[in-house]
Structure 1
Amino acid sequence: MTRNARRPNPIQWIGYAFGRRLPDSMTDWVRNDLAGKHATARHILRGMIPFTPLFAIFLFFPGELWLRGSMVLLAALLALFYTAAFMPMNRAHRLAKHGLPADLENPERAHRRAQERARYAAQHPH
Protein backbone atom coordinates (compact mmCIF):
# COMPACT_ATOMS: atom_id res chain seq x y z
CA MET A 1 0.00 0.00 0.00
CA THR A 2 1.43 3.37 -0.94
CA ARG A 3 1.65 6.31 1.42
CA ASN A 4 -0.94 8.24 -0.62
CA ALA A 5 -3.48 5.42 -0.26
CA ARG A 6 -3.33 5.80 3.52
CA ARG A 7 -3.98 9.57 3.52
CA PRO A 8 -7.35 11.06 2.66
CA ASN A 9 -7.56 13.10 -0.50
CA PRO A 10 -8.94 16.66 -0.16
CA ILE A 11 -12.54 15.58 -0.79
CA GLN A 12 -12.28 12.77 1.78
CA TRP A 13 -10.66 15.16 4.28
CA ILE A 14 -13.49 17.69 3.90
CA GLY A 15 -16.01 14.87 4.43
CA TYR A 16 -13.99 13.78 7.49
CA ALA A 17 -14.08 17.38 8.79
CA PHE A 18 -17.88 17.30 8.45
CA GLY A 19 -18.04 13.98 10.36
CA ARG A 20 -17.88 11.29 7.70
CA ARG A 21 -16.08 8.02 8.32
CA LEU A 22 -12.91 7.31 6.35
CA PRO A 23 -12.17 3.87 4.84
CA ASP A 24 -10.53 1.22 7.04
CA SER A 25 -7.29 1.59 5.07
CA MET A 26 -6.87 5.03 6.69
CA THR A 27 -7.25 3.89 10.32
CA ASP A 28 -3.59 4.59 11.08
CA TRP A 29 -3.95 8.11 9.70
CA VAL A 30 -7.07 8.67 11.82
CA ARG A 31 -5.25 7.36 14.90
CA ASN A 32 -2.40 9.79 14.32
CA ASP A 33 -4.79 12.63 13.51
CA LEU A 34 -6.75 12.20 16.73
CA ALA A 35 -4.06 11.03 19.16
CA GLY A 36 -0.73 11.96 17.58
CA LYS A 37 1.47 14.97 17.96
CA HIS A 38 -0.37 18.29 17.44
CA ALA A 39 -3.78 16.58 17.58
CA THR A 40 -5.30 19.55 19.43
CA ALA A 41 -4.28 22.05 16.77
CA ARG A 42 -5.55 19.73 14.03
CA HIS A 43 -8.85 19.30 15.88
CA ILE A 44 -9.38 23.04 16.14
CA LEU A 45 -8.53 23.59 12.47
CA ARG A 46 -10.78 20.72 11.41
CA GLY A 47 -13.57 21.95 13.70
CA MET A 48 -13.58 25.39 12.09
CA ILE A 49 -14.01 24.06 8.53
CA PRO A 50 -17.78 23.40 8.76
CA PHE A 51 -18.32 27.02 9.84
CA THR A 52 -16.57 28.62 6.86
CA PRO A 53 -19.74 28.79 4.71
CA LEU A 54 -21.44 30.68 7.53
CA PHE A 55 -18.50 33.09 7.77
CA ALA A 56 -18.67 33.68 4.02
CA ILE A 57 -22.44 34.34 4.16
CA PHE A 58 -21.91 36.94 6.88
CA LEU A 59 -19.61 38.86 4.53
CA PHE A 60 -22.50 39.30 2.07
CA PHE A 61 -24.89 40.82 4.61
CA PRO A 62 -25.78 44.45 4.00
CA GLY A 63 -23.96 47.06 6.03
CA GLU A 64 -20.54 48.50 6.57
CA LEU A 65 -17.50 46.30 6.11
CA TRP A 66 -16.48 46.69 9.76
CA LEU A 67 -19.92 45.45 10.85
CA ARG A 68 -19.75 42.41 8.60
CA GLY A 69 -16.21 41.75 9.77
CA SER A 70 -17.39 41.97 13.36
CA MET A 71 -20.09 39.40 12.64
CA VAL A 72 -17.50 37.04 11.17
CA LEU A 73 -15.16 37.62 14.14
CA LEU A 74 -17.92 36.94 16.67
CA ALA A 75 -19.01 33.81 14.83
CA ALA A 76 -15.39 32.62 14.58
CA LEU A 77 -14.81 33.16 18.30
CA LEU A 78 -18.00 31.29 19.22
CA ALA A 79 -17.11 28.44 16.84
CA LEU A 80 -13.61 28.31 18.31
CA PHE A 81 -14.99 28.22 21.86
CA TYR A 82 -17.40 25.37 21.14
CA THR A 83 -14.84 23.46 19.08
CA ALA A 84 -12.42 23.56 22.02
CA ALA A 85 -15.09 22.94 24.68
CA PHE A 86 -16.44 19.80 23.01
CA MET A 87 -13.05 18.47 21.88
CA PRO A 88 -12.94 15.41 24.21
CA MET A 89 -16.45 14.28 23.24
CA ASN A 90 -15.91 14.86 19.51
CA ARG A 91 -12.56 13.08 19.65
CA ALA A 92 -14.02 10.05 21.45
CA HIS A 93 -16.91 9.93 18.95
CA ARG A 94 -14.55 10.05 15.95
CA LEU A 95 -12.30 7.36 17.44
CA ALA A 96 -15.27 5.05 18.10
CA LYS A 97 -16.69 5.76 14.63
CA HIS A 98 -13.42 4.51 13.10
CA GLY A 99 -13.27 1.39 15.29
CA LEU A 100 -10.60 2.70 17.67
CA PRO A 101 -10.82 2.82 21.47
CA ALA A 102 -12.61 6.01 22.56
CA ASP A 103 -10.02 6.60 25.30
CA LEU A 104 -7.01 6.33 22.97
CA GLU A 105 -4.35 8.87 23.83
CA ASN A 106 -1.00 10.07 22.59
CA PRO A 107 1.64 7.38 23.38
CA GLU A 108 4.17 10.02 24.47
CA ARG A 109 1.67 11.58 26.87
CA ALA A 110 0.75 8.16 28.28
CA HIS A 111 4.45 7.36 28.82
CA ARG A 112 5.03 10.71 30.61
CA ARG A 113 2.01 10.12 32.83
CA ALA A 114 3.26 6.63 33.73
CA GLN A 115 6.65 8.08 34.64
CA GLU A 116 5.02 10.77 36.80
CA ARG A 117 2.93 8.14 38.59
CA ALA A 118 6.02 6.01 39.20
CA ARG A 119 7.92 9.02 40.62
CA TYR A 120 4.96 9.91 42.82
CA ALA A 121 4.64 6.32 44.06
CA ALA A 122 8.38 6.25 44.84
CA GLN A 123 8.19 9.51 46.78
CA HIS A 124 4.96 8.68 48.60
CA PRO A 125 4.83 4.96 49.41
CA HIS A 126 1.65 3.60 50.95
Structure 2
Amino acid sequence: MTDGSTRTRPNLLQYVGYCYGKRLPSSMRQWVADDLAGPGATVRMMVRVFIPAVLIMLPFWIIPMSLYLHLSTTLPILIPFVFFSHALNKVWRRHMLRKHGLDPSLVDYEARRRNAHVHDAYIEKYGPRSGPPSSHDV
Protein backbone atom coordinates (compact mmCIF):
# COMPACT_ATOMS: atom_id res chain seq x y z
CA MET A 1 0.00 0.00 0.00
CA THR A 2 1.36 3.42 -0.90
CA ASP A 3 1.46 6.31 1.50
CA GLY A 4 -0.18 9.69 0.76
CA SER A 5 3.05 11.35 -0.38
CA THR A 6 3.64 9.08 -3.39
CA ARG A 7 0.10 8.96 -4.76
CA THR A 8 -0.55 10.80 -8.01
CA ARG A 9 -4.33 11.03 -7.57
CA PRO A 10 -6.23 12.05 -4.42
CA ASN A 11 -8.40 9.62 -2.51
CA LEU A 12 -12.00 10.60 -1.70
CA LEU A 13 -11.21 12.46 1.52
CA GLN A 14 -8.31 14.35 -0.07
CA TYR A 15 -10.46 15.15 -3.11
CA VAL A 16 -13.27 16.65 -1.02
CA GLY A 17 -10.76 18.72 0.94
CA TYR A 18 -9.07 19.83 -2.29
CA CYS A 19 -12.41 20.84 -3.84
CA TYR A 20 -12.92 23.32 -1.04
CA GLY A 21 -9.42 24.75 -0.68
CA LYS A 22 -7.06 22.23 0.90
CA ARG A 23 -3.58 21.77 -0.55
CA LEU A 24 -2.69 18.34 -1.92
CA PRO A 25 0.78 16.75 -1.58
CA SER A 26 3.44 17.68 -4.15
CA SER A 27 3.25 14.24 -5.75
CA MET A 28 -0.19 15.20 -7.11
CA ARG A 29 0.89 18.41 -8.85
CA GLN A 30 0.34 17.05 -12.34
CA TRP A 31 -3.16 15.93 -11.44
CA VAL A 32 -3.89 19.37 -9.94
CA ALA A 33 -2.57 21.10 -13.08
CA ASP A 34 -4.75 18.91 -15.30
CA ASP A 35 -7.76 19.45 -13.05
CA LEU A 36 -7.46 23.24 -12.86
CA ALA A 37 -6.19 24.00 -16.36
CA GLY A 38 -7.25 21.06 -18.49
CA PRO A 39 -10.37 20.61 -20.60
CA GLY A 40 -13.58 20.99 -18.59
CA ALA A 41 -11.95 22.83 -15.68
CA THR A 42 -14.52 25.64 -15.73
CA VAL A 43 -17.46 23.27 -15.57
CA ARG A 44 -15.83 21.18 -12.82
CA MET A 45 -15.30 24.26 -10.68
CA MET A 46 -18.87 25.44 -11.20
CA VAL A 47 -20.22 22.02 -10.19
CA ARG A 48 -18.05 22.06 -7.06
CA VAL A 49 -19.64 25.35 -6.03
CA PHE A 50 -23.14 24.24 -6.98
CA ILE A 51 -23.16 20.97 -4.99
CA PRO A 52 -23.03 22.53 -1.49
CA ALA A 53 -25.64 25.10 -2.52
CA VAL A 54 -27.99 22.34 -3.64
CA LEU A 55 -27.38 20.40 -0.44
CA ILE A 56 -28.26 23.47 1.62
CA MET A 57 -31.42 24.08 -0.44
CA LEU A 58 -32.56 20.44 -0.40
CA PRO A 59 -34.51 20.73 2.88
CA PHE A 60 -36.74 23.38 1.27
CA TRP A 61 -37.96 20.71 -1.14
CA ILE A 62 -39.02 18.42 1.73
CA ILE A 63 -41.53 20.97 3.03
CA PRO A 64 -44.90 20.33 1.38
CA MET A 65 -45.82 23.30 -0.80
CA SER A 66 -46.48 24.08 -4.45
CA LEU A 67 -43.82 23.89 -7.13
CA TYR A 68 -44.05 27.67 -7.50
CA LEU A 69 -43.13 28.16 -3.84
CA HIS A 70 -40.33 25.58 -4.02
CA LEU A 71 -38.81 27.39 -6.99
CA SER A 72 -39.34 30.84 -5.49
CA THR A 73 -37.53 29.85 -2.29
CA THR A 74 -34.58 28.09 -3.89
CA LEU A 75 -33.87 29.71 -7.26
CA PRO A 76 -33.13 33.21 -5.88
CA ILE A 77 -30.39 31.59 -3.82
CA LEU A 78 -29.08 29.13 -6.42
CA ILE A 79 -28.88 31.57 -9.34
CA PRO A 80 -26.28 33.82 -7.65
CA PHE A 81 -24.23 30.72 -6.86
CA VAL A 82 -24.09 29.97 -10.58
CA PHE A 83 -23.25 33.57 -11.52
CA PHE A 84 -20.54 33.97 -8.88
CA SER A 85 -19.02 30.58 -9.58
CA HIS A 86 -18.68 31.57 -13.22
CA ALA A 87 -17.44 35.09 -12.51
CA LEU A 88 -14.84 34.02 -9.96
CA ASN A 89 -13.85 30.79 -11.69
CA LYS A 90 -10.47 31.92 -13.03
CA VAL A 91 -9.67 33.76 -9.81
CA TRP A 92 -10.21 30.60 -7.75
CA ARG A 93 -8.34 28.37 -10.18
CA ARG A 94 -5.37 30.78 -10.24
CA HIS A 95 -5.40 30.86 -6.45
CA MET A 96 -5.39 27.06 -6.25
CA LEU A 97 -2.59 26.77 -8.83
CA ARG A 98 -0.49 29.24 -6.85
CA LYS A 99 -1.32 27.40 -3.62
CA HIS A 100 0.02 24.17 -5.14
CA GLY A 101 3.22 25.84 -6.37
CA LEU A 102 2.16 25.91 -10.04
CA ASP A 103 2.14 28.76 -12.53
CA PRO A 104 -1.19 30.66 -12.27
CA SER A 105 -1.09 31.46 -15.99
CA LEU A 106 -1.87 27.78 -16.68
CA VAL A 107 -5.53 28.77 -16.27
CA ASP A 108 -5.43 30.31 -19.75
CA TYR A 109 -3.56 27.41 -21.35
CA GLU A 110 -6.59 25.87 -23.10
CA ALA A 111 -7.81 29.25 -24.40
CA ARG A 112 -4.35 30.08 -25.70
CA ARG A 113 -4.03 26.71 -27.40
CA ARG A 114 -7.52 27.00 -28.89
CA ASN A 115 -6.90 30.57 -30.13
CA ALA A 116 -3.28 30.13 -31.23
CA HIS A 117 -4.23 30.46 -34.90
CA VAL A 118 -5.77 33.89 -34.23
CA HIS A 119 -2.62 35.12 -32.50
CA ASP A 120 -0.42 33.67 -35.23
CA ALA A 121 -2.50 35.43 -37.90
CA TYR A 122 -2.19 38.70 -35.98
CA ILE A 123 1.60 38.36 -35.74
CA GLU A 124 1.81 37.47 -39.42
CA LYS A 125 -0.23 40.53 -40.40
CA TYR A 126 0.93 43.17 -37.87
CA GLY A 127 4.09 41.74 -36.30
CA PRO A 128 4.65 40.77 -32.67
CA ARG A 129 2.97 42.76 -29.96
CA SER A 130 4.99 45.21 -27.94
CA GLY A 131 4.76 45.88 -24.24
CA PRO A 132 4.82 43.59 -21.24
CA PRO A 133 3.23 40.14 -21.73
CA SER A 134 0.54 40.85 -19.15
CA SER A 135 -0.78 43.75 -21.25
CA HIS A 136 -2.12 41.38 -23.91
CA ASP A 137 -2.93 38.17 -22.03
CA VAL A 138 -5.98 36.33 -23.22
TM range (shorter): 0.7 to 0.9
In the TM superposition, what are the counterparts of 1:96-107 in structure 2 within 5 Å? 96-105=98-107, 107=109
Per-residue deviation at 1:56? 2.2
Point out the more displaced range, 47-56 or 24-33. Answer: 47-56
Per-residue deviation at 1:125? 4.5
Q: 1:51 aligns with which of 33, 50, 53?
A: 53
C-alpha distance in structure 1 between counterparts of 2:55 and 2:127, whole Å:
56
1:75 aligns with 2:77: yes
Per-residue deviation at 1:116? 2.3
Gaps of 5+ in 2: 129-138
TM-score (ref. length: structure 1):
0.79
After superposition, give the CA deviation of every residue in 1:21-64 in whole Å (9 maximum; x if it has no partner): 1222211111001100111111111222332331224335x561
Q: Name the amino acid aligned to 2:65.
A: E
The answer as to whether partners of 2:37 and 2:110 remain within 8 angstroms in 1 is no
C-alpha distance in structure 1 between counterparts of 2:34 and 2:57, whole Å:
29
Please name the residue that 2:132 is paired with. none
Please name the residue that 1:22 is paired with. 24
Please name the residue that 2:36 is paired with. 34
TM-score (ref. length: structure 2):
0.73
The answer as to whether partners of 1:22 and 1:98 remain within 8 angstroms in 2 is yes
Point out the more displaced range, 50-59 or 79-88. Answer: 50-59
The answer as to whether partners of 1:37 and 1:106 remain within 8 angstroms in 2 is no
1:64 aligns with 2:65: yes
C-alpha distance in structure 2 between counterparts of 1:107 and 1:90, whole Å:
15
Identity score, percent: 34
- Secondary structure of 1:105's aligned partner: helix
Q: Name the amino acid aligned to 1:90.
A: W
Q: 1:44–1:100: structure 2 CA closer, same or farther, 3 Å change rule?
A: same
Per-residue deviation at 1:105? 3.3
